[in-house]
Structure 1
Amino acid sequence: MVICLVRYNRKYLPAIVTLFNSTIQRVNRKDYSQAELNEWIQSNPDFDLWHETLTSSYCLLAIKEGTLVGFGNITSEGYLDLFYVSHAMIHQGVGRLIYNELEKYAVLEKAESIYTDASITAVPFFTKMGLEVVRKQDNQRNGENLVNYRMVKKLVMR
């Protein structure tokens, strides 16, 4: 399996939103109710807002045989915002590959730490990457509470 990491390109935007929604529906459903998932997914995505978010950060796409299989983005300050891997590629090293490159970017940018607001589902992965849970967070959306966790990893400056 050859996975290529490429920088964000708008031509992948529909695939990014599709992967985002699919991952939430297929992977996160073990930790969230369908009502919570319905508040999380993007049924009518604002593609311009997505594009702005992804271009204003360092965003990497994982491509396998021309198909998007994962993506993640991080700011120069170390905020890891979006991080999603296709349900078919979970536990195959795609997430680790993306994460390691995002961390390298954060180090190059001299970020003091990497921090994220991880879903219940993502906490074990980010723990393996060296992040620690700082606090549980409640996010109310139309009467649904999407619990997530602020996680942080201090970076060693090289």
Structure 2
Amino acid sequence: EEERRRKTGEKGRELFGADWQRTENETKVCKALEKVAQEIGAKSITSVAIAYVMQKAPYIFPIIGGRKVEHFHSNLEALDINLTEEHIAYLESIVPFERGFPYTFFGTADGDYNGLYKNAGHFDKWPLQQAIRPVTSNAN
């Protein structure tokens, strides 16, 4: 895709950096999204990425946009994609994700609460709520 963008002059957005080209980690994630898209029959890696974000946790509603009709079609396709736990685990294994502050201060869902919180009182751990998933089994 980057070669096509170079040839057409379309390039990409340069909002957060001087270079629109993908980093090594971004390239790894794109290849992983391509693999999952092929497995489930999705037409776009964008659809898989949006489906991943929506199915990762409850109450997630990505604010998405697009400049082209194909962006709109990818956004709609994401609503029909149902990723398996294996797909999600595979995508998360490609590049480590560090949540950073303030999330690391609170503790983790898998681990224990921060010592300051434990000194303040007793906390009951509740199971994490599951995200809403599409009714269909995969993309059309």
Compute the TM-score of the two structures, normalised by the length of structure 2. Answer: 0.33
Structure 1 or 2, whichever has the larger Rg, is 2
Compute the TM-score of the two structures, normalised by the length of structure 1. Answer: 0.30
Name the one with the larger helix percent: 2
Name the one with the larger strand percent: 1
Report which structure shows greater RCO (CA 8 Å, sep ≥6).
2
